[in-house]
Amino acid sequence: MAYQFAHTQTFSRRGTKAGKSKGKGRGVTVGSRSVSDIVNEAVREQGFCPHVESPKDPAILHGVSPAEIPQLIEQRIRQAKQLFPDQLKGKGKGIRKDQHILEGAVFSHPAQSADLVDEEIREQYQRWRDDVVAWVKRDFDDRGLEFVSAVEHLDEAHPHIHAYGIPKATESNPRMDAKQCHAGHAARAAEPEPKRKNAAYKRAMRQWQDDHHAAIGERHGLLRFGPKRQRLDRKTYTIQKEAAKDLARKIQVSEKMGDLTNDVGALRQEKQALEAEVKGLKAKLKGLYDMAKAEATKIVSDPIQYIKDHFMKPVEDERDQYKAQNEQLQWQLNAIRNTRDERTRIVVENVLHEVAQGHDRTPKNAPESPSESHTDDFTPR
């Protein structure tokens, strides 16, 4: 297989059982699997993958494990009821269990799973795988789906990816109807003419396949259709496969050239920035050189004056600074001394004044002191 395989469909929580078709000669119809059925198959739950000889646990490429999807759906339904209570409350307004509420897509790579031990084949597959997951994210988002999970299966003939999206609850889709998000079902619903609804569905799905091929198939060397669809003989189909591979190589080379062009542009900008920085450094160095040259000229022309200006003058300036500080300190000291002397003078005057007032209060009939009495009668012998 050297052509793309991509398929997507919607599922309900309940699913439908197989039954008899009402059309002529239709026989038994195949029922639709439920959400639980497909997630159990995705995680390789026993009894849900009889087509796989040796089931292995899938690798999660994005989001949660598929086993968590049913619980996540119930959580999103509760949130939708809170966001849009008027639209979802009341008889017949709720989200029914048979309403399709999940979209599941599968994408298969033409390589054999057993061949992935080859480094070149494995790298080609991994590039395709990563591109598919990135494309699914864009595609789901464009169609109003929340990309909740993607897993990788390597236990079947061809390595393949399963991707799952839950409809976002919006004003236009408060019931989270997956068919409103599905390209084919949405086109069918939009077609007013009943006889043209199936044609509208097929046309929309062909466009979805074309978009996937343009984004993924072409750049990975995959044909849009297989040989049976085109009714090609083996030789013509081989030529188409080689042409597709050649186109993929050219696309990859073109992308690499684009990356190189971007790298060259970035390097050119970095180079310009470095050149500007070097230019600034050169200007700064030239200024320093000119300054040093001027200083050297001064030294040579008058070394004594240079010594005075550059060695003596700083010392003299420092001396003058200390002298000024000393004068300031001396002034402060004199001020302190003057304050002290003034306070001492005031204290002495107060004491003398108090003593003088004490003598003035002595009584008049008080006896005279011995030194004052009998002074005239004293005659030395």
State residue 232's pLDDT score. Answer: 46
Helix 197-212 and helix 119-142, axial crossing angle in degrees, nearest 10: 130
238's tokens: 């081989």
In sequence order, what E strands does 84-222 have? Answer: 100-108, 145-153, 160-167
What is the C-alpha separation between 133 and 147, in angstroms, rounded? Answer: 10
Residue 120 to residue 266: CA distance in whole angstroms: 30
Helix H or strand E segment including 46: none
Say which amino acid occupies 152.
E
Structure tokens at 334: 């004199």
Contact 200, 188 (CB under 8 A): yes
* Tokens 């204290």 -> residue: 347
CA-nearest of 194, 200, 160 to 182 is 200
Per-residue pLDDT of the chain (381 residues), as tens digits, is 477 889 999 999 998 865 555 554 444 445 689 999 999 999 999 999 998 999 999 999 999 999 999 999 999 999 999 999 988 877 777 899 999 999 999 999 998 999 999 999 999 999 999 999 999 999 999 999 999 999 999 999 999 999 999 999 999 999 999 999 999 999 999 999 999 999 999 999 999 999 998 899 888 878 876 555 444 455 554 555 455 555 556 556 565 666 656 666 677 777 778 778 878 887 887 788 788 777 777 777 777 777 767 677 777 778 888 888 888 888 888 888 888 888 888 888 888 888 888 766 555 555 554 444 444 444 444
| Location of structure tokens 């970095």 | 270
Evaluate whether 33 touches 13 at the Cβ level (below 8 Å). no
> CA–CA distance from 25 to each of 16, 22, 195 (Å)?
21, 9, 21
For the four alpha carbons of 367, 369, 374 and 376, in that order, the dihedral sign comes to: negative
| Rounded distance between C-alpha atoms, residue 133 and residue 161, angstroms | 8
Instruction: Estimate the crossing angle of helix 35-42 against helix 69-83, to 10 degrees.
Output: 140
CA 116/CA 138 separation, integer angstroms: 27
DSSP class of residue 57 equals P
Q: Which of 171, 201, 193, 217 is nearest to 10 (CA)?
A: 201
User: Is 5-17+30-224 CATH 3.30.360?
Assistant: no
Question: How far apart are the C-alpha atoms of 108 and 157, rounded to whole Å?
Answer: 10
**DSSP readout, 160-228?**
EEEEEEEE---SS-TT--HHHHSHHHHHHHH--SGGGHHHHHHHHHHHHHHHHIIIIIGGGT-BSS-HH
Task: Give the domain ranges of the chain.
Answer: 5-17+30-224, 302-341
- The DSSP line for 217-261 is IGGGT-BSS-HHHHT--HHHHHHHHHHHHHHHHHHHHHHHHHHHH
pTM above 0.85, yes or no: no
